[in-house]
Amino acid sequence: KQWYQRRVHGTTVMAAGMGRAVLLFLLCSQPFATRGKAVLNENGYTDLVVAISPDIPENQNVIDQVKGLMTEASRELYIATRNRAYFKQVKILLPKTWTTISGDQTLEGESFETSELRIDRPSPVYGDSPYTEHGPGCGEPGDFTHITPAFLEDSTAYGNWGKVVVHEWAKLRWGVYEEHGYPGDEKFPMFFYKTTWTIDGQKNTLTPNFCLNSGIYGYEQDLVSGGPCNYNPDDRLPDQNCYYYVTEETPATSSYMSLPYLANNRQFC
């Protein structure tokens, strides 16, 4: 692994991986806001703004964690896109409520409300899980990705935190969706019966609904009781409270939008 160092107005930042350096700038918020998006130039995304909410207490650790997160995300994006893209330049936008930590430079034309990646309080719906506000349809870019300080502090439950960002970036920038089913969803169910034909005739196998390029290993669990799943008598499918947890024994290398937490899963479908 190669490491790169660059001093930007008194702040030393470091980035790692695959011969690509990511530059991180610490910026002070200004009142003039115009909507900006990261630009892909010669395989590197530049002008990506990660903004910290004024509701987040001033904390140097948050800044350091964002730097570490985006460095790892750049490395994972480079791998997932087969060397086609990485995060070349990331700007961390500090709120004006932070008074003891000074920025490297002042940035006009950016704000928390127009940033693509936002560090904010937990969501009433998703809690501390990172999520992306989707666009109006498939292939349409989203509005922003939401990340909390608690996720930055401890993301072990999600696997590689850089891969989490890449997973959300795909939704934000390219307008793709998760490639798995949901408990109780009629259109995208958690389970289905896969029909195959053998020498003994038709065989219907209960199958978890994940886009993978390998066999799947895991277990069913009722989300309410934590015990075994219940089955509907009509269609013999698990009910709306049943989820399938895929374990690391699954050797899949694709797809990123299905199970990004798997260690070997580093490719898009």
- The H or E element that residue 95 is part of is none
Indicate the SS3 state at residue 168: helix
Question: What's residue 105's pLDDT?
Answer: 80
Residue that has been written with the tokens 């089955």 in this structure: 231
Question: What's residue 129's pLDDT?
Answer: 97
Residue 115, preceding peptide bond in cis (omega within 30° of 0): no
Indicate the SS3 state at residue 162: helix
Question: What's residue 261's pLDDT?
Answer: 95
Burial 163-182 (b: 16+ CB within 10 A, else e): bbbbbbbbbbbebbebbbbe
Nearest to residue 210, comparing CAs of 169, 168, 166, 254?
Answer: 254
Catalytic residue chosen out of the listed positions 140, 168, 179, 248? 168
168 annotated active-site: yes
Question: What's residue 37's pLDDT?
Answer: 86
Question: What's residue 7's pLDDT?
Answer: 26
Question: What's residue 103's pLDDT?
Answer: 80
Helices 161-174, 60-80: axis angle to 10 degrees equals: 70
Those residues of the chain that have pLDDT short of 50 are 1-21, 28-35
Cβ count near 94 (within 10 Å): 24
The CA-atom distances, in angstroms, between 80 and each of 27, 74, 75 are 29, 10, 9
Nearest to residue 243, comparing CAs of 269, 214, 209, 216?
Answer: 209
Question: What's residue 16's pLDDT?
Answer: 33
pTM of the full structure: 0.84
According to DSSP, the β-strands at 145-147 and 131-132 are antiparallel
Cβ count near 30 (within 10 Å): 14
State the distance between the two ends of the chain, measured CA to CA, in whole angstroms: 27
Cβ count near 137 (within 10 Å): 8
